[in-house]
């Protein structure tokens, strides 16, 4: 039996992740006489599975369903295959959107030498390339799941907060 710090290290997650998985009911631990969380090897394997499934894009809800099926003695693979098909189609759609966006960006970039830095009679102060004067807004800037709304920069690449500061700075 391992205490939380060593168990987390061996499973490749943080102690916080172990507590979080426990709070969701994905794993269980025992307690020592003095109240310390204790984890066995089987639980560490379960955590490694959770981590790998999450890395592959499975949600914690999906992972919980997989674990429940396994715990009930049922094979979860048919459900996993269905989710894999959905995830592959979703990725294919994202690739199509990103490919279209890339093509639009390449087209805009190719127009850059032809667009004067400050066209005469143009006083908005913005870049004509991005204002639509150089061409239409790409359809690829919207996602089908957004119902036609353009993605805001904060949703495209959100900055994650960690201990009171923004990452990436």
Of 29, 70, 73, the closest CA to residue 53 belongs to 70
- Predicted pLDDT at 129: 74
- Predicted pLDDT at 86: 97
pLDDT in tens, 91-109: 999 999 999 999 999 998 8
pTM for the whole structure: 0.66
Query: Which residues span the domain enclosing 140?
Result: 84-115+126-144
8 part of a folded domain: yes
Of 84, 21, 29, 25, the closest CA to residue 51 belongs to 21
Tally of domains within the chain = 2
CATH number of domain containing 31? 1.10.1660.10
161 part of a folded domain: no
52 in the same domain as 89:
no
How far is residue 45 from each of residues 10, 11, 30, 40, measured CA to CA in Å? 10, 7, 16, 9
Of residues 60 and 120, which shows the higher confidence score?
60
pLDDT in tens, 16-58: 999 999 999 999 999 999 999 999 999 999 999 999 999 999 9
What is the average pLDDT value for the chain, to the nearest integer?
Answer: 82
pLDDT in tens, 154-164: 444 444 444 54
**What span, in angstroms and rounded, lies between the C-alpha atoms of 103 and 106?**
5
- Predicted pLDDT at 139: 55
163 part of a folded domain: no
């Amino acid at each position: 039996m391992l205490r939380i710090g060593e168990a987390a290290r061996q499973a490749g997650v943080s102690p916080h992740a172990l507590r979080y998985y426990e709070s969701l009911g994905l794993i269980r631990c025992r307690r020592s006489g003095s109240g310390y969380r204790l984890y066995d090897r089987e639980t560490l394997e379960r955590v490694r599975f959770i981590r790998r499934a999450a890395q592959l894009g499975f949600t914690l809800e999906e992972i919980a369903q997989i674990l429940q099926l396994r715990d009930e003695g049922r094979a979860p693979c048919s459900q996993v295959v269905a989710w894999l098909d959905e995830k592959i189609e979703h990725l294919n759609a994202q690739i199509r959107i990103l490919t279209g966006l890339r093509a639009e960006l390449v087209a805009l970039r190719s127009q850059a030498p032809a667009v004067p830095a400050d066209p005469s009679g143009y006083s908005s102060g913005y870049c004509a390339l991005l204002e639509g004067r150089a061409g239409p807004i790409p359809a690829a800037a919207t996602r089908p799941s957004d119902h036609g709304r353009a993605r805001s920069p904060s949703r495209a690449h959100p900055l994650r907060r960690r201990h009171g500061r923004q990452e990436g700075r």
